Chains A and B, each alone.
Chain A
Amino acid sequence: MMALGAGAQNDTSVKAKTAQIDTSLKFTEIQKDSTARVNSVKKEEPLVTRYMGDAAPQLRVKDWIKGKPITNFEKGEVYVIDFWATWCGWCIKGMPHLSELARKYKGKVTFAAVSVWEDRGTRGATPEKLKAFVDGMGDKMDFSVASEDTAFTQRDWLNAFHLDYIPVSFIIDGQGRVAWTGNSAHVDTALQKIVNNTWDIEQESARRKYSDSSQNYLDTLDNSVIAKTKRLQLRSGNENLQGFTDSILVVINDMVKKEPKIKYTPEMASHTFAALLITDPHKACEYATEAMASPYAQYAYGMVIEEINFSLRYLTTPKEVYLLGAECYQVKIDQSEPDEDAAYLAKQYQSMADWYRLGGDKLKAIAADKKALKLWEKDADK
């Protein structure tokens, strides 16, 4: 039981005893009112989704409160547009740093801050208060400052790029493209590269594609292969291994057709590789090599070793597969921590030697044996 009300000490009028919170109380979720988020957006212009690399939208604001207005993005000029609010502590905290950058890149990069969401709720600043706030910041906001046009600014920038938080900055490159978006605290690296013309928008977009929230979706899809094939396993009763494997591959092909990005995700990779080891070991090796060149390479090596070990119990394994597995051991060893236990590494080399031998590469097998031996000696010396 927790007594409430202790925090209201500022309000002396409230000394009434508060009810104790009954642990049996059943709370009902309040569904969020979706209309609360819609601004006075003009109906005739629908929201356009924009991506990094697209041409920067026009910067339509209400008033330029401070500094020279930015009317359009000049070719050859780089711009940083920061979105902020007076109630946003992180936004204000970041201003001196943005000002420092503005001074550092003077003549190369034009900075501006646009205030947003001051109309939300009861706390927002009036135009007069906003102006007073900006004046009070002095050279902590050493760049042009504008207030948003509630009809356009958020819709064209934040909403179009699916950004729902502040502080957010956009970097517009010399070609007028949005070259970077993100938390204003993290503009430094990208800005420097954009100024130096060494920034690769496509690469950054690809990196984000694999690290943003859509990754959760891919993870979920990836994991669903377990449930789908487990069901097939139950159906086939495992008596017909070939038929079972074929139906797994049908499921996998179907899933990849719908979402090509999951072709090499961890669970998909282990299911595909295991099934191909049964139906077509050569294809299995080809697939594994592709997986090792995919963004999921880090999972692929361990998976290949595991699946080969698993399949050895009931399959005759061609030499090609053993050689692939041996190479995976090498990568696994190369990627191990510098202070990795010598005995552990020795075992890895020993397994590698076994597979090289089974794969018919006697020289590599001997080399791996030697390395294992050295590590065993090192372990014995301890």
Chain B
Amino acid sequence: MKRIILAFFVLLSVSSTLHAQVLRPVRWSYAAKRLSKTEAVVFIKATIDEDWHLYSQTVPDRGPTRTSFAFSPSKNYALIGTTLEPKPLTRFEKVFGIEVAYFENSVIFQQKIKLNVNGPVTVNGSLEYMTCNDEKCLPPETVSFSIMIK
């Protein structure tokens, strides 16, 4: 009847039906920015929980599943170049015999788009990724996205 700990109250409504723990260490979000009438950039952001790793697009086949993007073809837009990523961290993984590039905390991927029509354009596609922490891995996931460029 003293000590008032407020921080936990908000959780109550969210977790009242919690059963088994479902790990979701990587969450994805997107944004878009128009550069000109005919060009735009879509940003796809991964927010990564502490201790978890997301793998770079450059990881070779022998390693963990790399992050990859597949944009649906459309007559409304075309991709300009490949999906770019910031400089990843790297670590030599003896078990794979390769240098593995990965991200921590958060990473923003970006894809430049050429717009073929006037007005809003929706860019559809999916991404694939997997994540590991310091003792386990979650299976590769596919996430669909639909990004509107206003």
Contact = CB atoms under 8 A, between A and B. Distances in A.
Given A4-B84, A27-B43, A216 B15 contact: yes
Nearest to B5: A223
Which of B18, B64, B84, B88 is the most central at the interface, judged by chain A CB atoms within 10 Å of its CB? B84
Contact of A32 (B15, B24, B80): B24
Contact of A33 (B20, B65, B143): B143
A235 to B, nearest CB: 14
Interface residues of B, number: 67
B130 to A, nearest CB: 7
A212 interface: yes
B9 A4 contact: no
B82 A11 contact: yes
A10 B141 contact: no
B2 interface: yes
A18 B9 CA distance: 43
A128 to B, nearest CB: 14
Interface in B68-95: 68, 80-82, 84-88, 93, 95
Contacts of A85: 137, 139
Contacts of A93: 95
Contact of B27 (A18, A29, A90, A270): A29
Given A14-B84, A117-B140, A166-B137, A19 B41 contact: yes
B122 interface: no
Given A90-B137, A162-B20, A217-B15, A8 B82 contact: yes
Contact of A122 (B88, B110, B128): B128
Given A6-B86, A30-B28, A90 B132 contact: yes
List the 8 shortest-distance A-B pairs measured between CB atoms, nearest first: A213-B21, A162-B20, A121-B140, A27-B29, A123-B65, A223-B8, A117-B139, A7-B87
15 contacts: A4-B86, A7-B88, A11-B82, A13-B81, A27-B45, A30-B144, A32-B28, A85-B139, A121-B65, A162-B19, A162-B21, A164-B22, A212-B21, A214-B19, A310-B1
Interface of A: 2, 4-8, 10-11, 13-14, 16, 18-19, 21-22, 25-30, 32-33, 36-37, 85, 87-93, 116-117, 120-124, 162, 164-168, 183, 185, 212-214, 216-217, 219-221, 223-224, 226-227, 229-230, 233, 248, 267, 270-271, 274-275, 310
Given A7-B101, A88-B64, A122-B65, 7 more contacts: A4-B85, A87-B140, A166-B136, A166-B139, A214-B19, A221-B12, A229-B1
